[in-house]
Chains A and B, each alone.
Chain A
């Protein structure tokens, strides 16, 4: 792991541990399950870090913890050097606007009772004038290559790809600095995946974004990532530059994942 002194660390996760408590049917005997065990990594401003792991490895828990939805049992999450879990409500709301999630299930991520226009307006800075809001909405729509027709649609009137683009547009509309892409394109078909990957790369340049790209799919990771971390059973077992991980993986598990993905 080489820390490049010229680059600023945007997000740092330090010794993150999350346990889920399970009770048996009678409420006796609590059992704890380690979802994450002592996970540490950082993301430079402007880079794409991919976290790869199988289903249930805990990679989504990392996203939820960074998003302030799952509280860590120990460890810290630092955004621009500030502890996210010590934020007061106003600071938290400001922080939330800077890091935006895009989830795998676009269907579930959009309020079924709101039109696309209202959703995007909700994401914009409230103080803007109406004309400025409309201008920005058009800008973000064209950035994700959507027609303006979708503005008056409810989510169920849109296709899967359109919905995911609306989610991305909404994430951009908060003037975010970082997107957390939790399997964001995994449920789309292959040609659409390629398309969305290209779109994500363009958006990253255009809006100077930082990505945390969470996926089980090494092929898309190979395309988009700068650095790659491998998660297994709640531990970060290996992290490094993309080329290092893909060309000379050290851990046997990483080698296994790579072999499987060659099919």
Chain B
């Protein structure tokens, strides 16, 4: 069923959904279904890669901050406050405005401005877990700080990290779509869902299917990730979920 997402066919410009083109075609006669499938690769890659880097950075900073406390904690948390003070979207627009929009640049900037929430969550979790008796017992075993951190604290803060990572994928996809929508993200002829959405917007009344299906792709994916995140939270959080033992 999927066809070449870049193959233009001038005889089939702006065709409504049909059997041959289940989502219709765009202004260049390209099969929209194929373009949305291929666009999903870009949108999901950005969502997942950015989340991965944000979680790694946030976890490291949060763990250092929470475990060592004192001035490293104060310094890192002020840094987090400063980073949160920047409106993420406008920073992105500025950076991209000064350079050429590219996939790598978007990954880098989004990653660098997405880790703060994770850092805060991780720090709060570390602060709770480090007071647990099993951590105190581990310290009393004379274990090194690294061992206490990675063997006794980290595995016990993993569930909130997984949950917030899952929820973050959705929000990154939305930001990416927003950027691509205003032409600052993925550039044609490559297409992410935001780019396709933008194209559809040019003739909303004439070719409604372009906007509808690319929009639906975003909505369904984001809701999907959020539902998975909520589900994981219920399963992993022993306070709210029912856990088999």
Query: Which residues of A come within 8 Å of B, CB atoms?
Result: 67, 69, 93-94, 96-97, 99-101, 103, 105, 108-114, 122-123, 156-157, 167, 170, 174
Contacts and interface: CB of A to CB of B under 8 A. Distances in A.
A111 B152 contact: yes
A122 B136 contact: no
Contacts of B136: 67, 69, 101
A111 B142 contact: no
Contacts of A111: 134-135, 138, 151-152, 155-156
B7 interface: no
Given A112-B156, A113-B156, A174 B132 contact: no
Given A108-B132, A111-B156, A113-B156, A97 B141 contact: yes
Contacts of B94: none
Interface of B: 132-144, 147, 151-152, 155-156, 245
A174 B134 contact: no
Contacts of B132: 108
A174 B142 CA distance: 9
Nearest to A118: B151
B68 to A, nearest CB: 13
11 contacts: A67-B136, A69-B139, A93-B144, A96-B140, A101-B136, A101-B140, A109-B133, A111-B138, A122-B143, A123-B141, A174-B142
Most central of A97, A99, A113, A170 by chain B CB within 10 Å:
A113
Given A103-B133, A105-B133, A111-B134, A170 B141 contact: yes
Contacts of B134: 108-112
Contacts of B140: 67, 96, 99-101
Given A67-B136, A109-B134, A123-B141, A156 B151 contact: no
A103 B152 CA distance: 17
Contacts of A100: 140
* Those 8 A-B pairs whose CB atoms lie nearest each other, nearest first: A93-B142, A113-B155, A108-B133, A97-B142, A109-B133, A111-B134, A96-B142, A96-B140
